[in-house]
Amino acid sequence: MDDYGIEMGRHRICGKFWGPKEGLPTIALHGYLDNANSFDRLAPLLKHRRIFAMDFAGHGASSHRQSHELYSGLSDIKDVLAVADHFGWRHFHVLGHSMGAEIGSQMAGMFPERVASLVCLDGFCSTNDTNVTLDNLASSVSASFKDGARLKVFPSLEAMSQRLSEVTGQSLASASAIVARGYKEVVGGYTWVSDPRIKGSGPLEFTRPQLEALILRLAAPALVIVADVSNLWLQRSLEVLVTVDQPLLTMVSVPAHHHLHMHDECAEVARLIECFDAKQPLAADVLSPERYRILRNAAIKTVQG
């Protein structure tokens, strides 16, 4: 594992390498407010891939965007493509979790000539009705004008990790890995290094017709590993995914926490990705529309108590 930084003109994108140089060139994209450490358990298991796990701008070791710049999915897509260009990867593989899966799937549909394959971990391009997508776009613009809110200060890194674990439901070990790359020392203790403006920006969401068109534009094999169907934003995407006939797309279910690639399920995730890369059938694991409905209804009943 090697740390690496790339100058992008006015900002710097940082990340971590795993795997042999001759492996499949892969860019790994973390989730919202996470960082490259989220791939610490999964990446070493994918020994046939050359993985660069990057910190999105404003996260981890990457620099913040300047005061006049937007935190936007389009800006993140541009950064990913620039990272690939830096390495000379005209054609590369994408491995994304949550927000990273959203960005990766959007990029695969917008720039199909660049993406060799797509693996999405509990996420895909998000969708909403037109008014909500417009509100979220407006929120991203408005957030760029705001001074960042003061982030909470914790007395210790242990307290910071414990709070993240409590808020997200992920394991303490998983939360500690995120904190290890996501903190800075301040007067009175420790706080997050991430740009507070990110919390004010809205996701890059597509309307349903746009999402359907994006799915049909995929030109490379795509694997979506679904863990937690209780997330409403993921349900909205899955409702579209299960109805669009896209032979290049396979969905499988690994019931687990949203951060499954950081928990013990990482071994099963690695197995599925290796089978996917080897073009081996995944029939036993496939998430059919009928199975999805069963899992979704069970999740709704659990939430309703």
Chain-centroid distance of CA 224 in Å reads 12
Kind and range of the H or E run holding 142: helix 130-143
The CA-based angle 223-32-270, given to 5 degrees, is 35
Residue type, 125: C
> Can you spell out the DSSP letters for 202-255?
PP--B-HHHHHHHHHH--S-EEEEE--TT-HHHHHHHHHHTTS--TTEEEEE--
Cα(144)–Cα(128) distance, rounded to whole angstroms? Answer: 22
Cα(184)–Cα(190) distance, rounded to whole angstroms? Answer: 6
Catalytic residue set: 98
Cα(169)–Cα(175) distance, rounded to whole angstroms? Answer: 9
Residue type, 290: E
Cα(193)–Cα(272) distance, rounded to whole angstroms? Answer: 33
